[in-house]
Amino acid sequence: MKATNINYSIKVPEGAEPQSGTVSMNFPESVEEAAQTWGEEVVLKKCLAQVTIDARRLCYEAESEEQAQEMVNNFTPGVGRERMTSGVSQKALLQLLKGRSKEEIAFLIAQLS
């Protein structure tokens, strides 16, 4: 087991003093240790829940149900998708540039340099 810090902050009404803190929790260092600590069923359920979230995020980027299915079929958990370093997906970037002239796009690219 390895102690890991967990930071948290609680949303508070505007003007109120922010509430945040750090707590420590012991985490297993392997799948086997996690299964021994929390049980195989819990480890599997948590794994499947996170994979479902990741697959759903892929579907949000699809333009059709068929494309979403193809993306999910090609999805491998733990393997990163092609994204911009800022965290903006290629689809989102293309949407932002849609309708702009080549000159405007060239100007924007030049601003990044």
Read off the pLDDT of residues 46-72 as tens digits, 9 standing for 90 and up.
Answer: 999 999 999 999 999 888 999 999 999
Query: Alpha-carbon distance 51 to 64, whole Å?
Result: 21
Question: Model pTM?
Answer: 0.60
pLDDT in tens, 8-41: 999 888 888 889 999 999 999 999 999 999 999 9
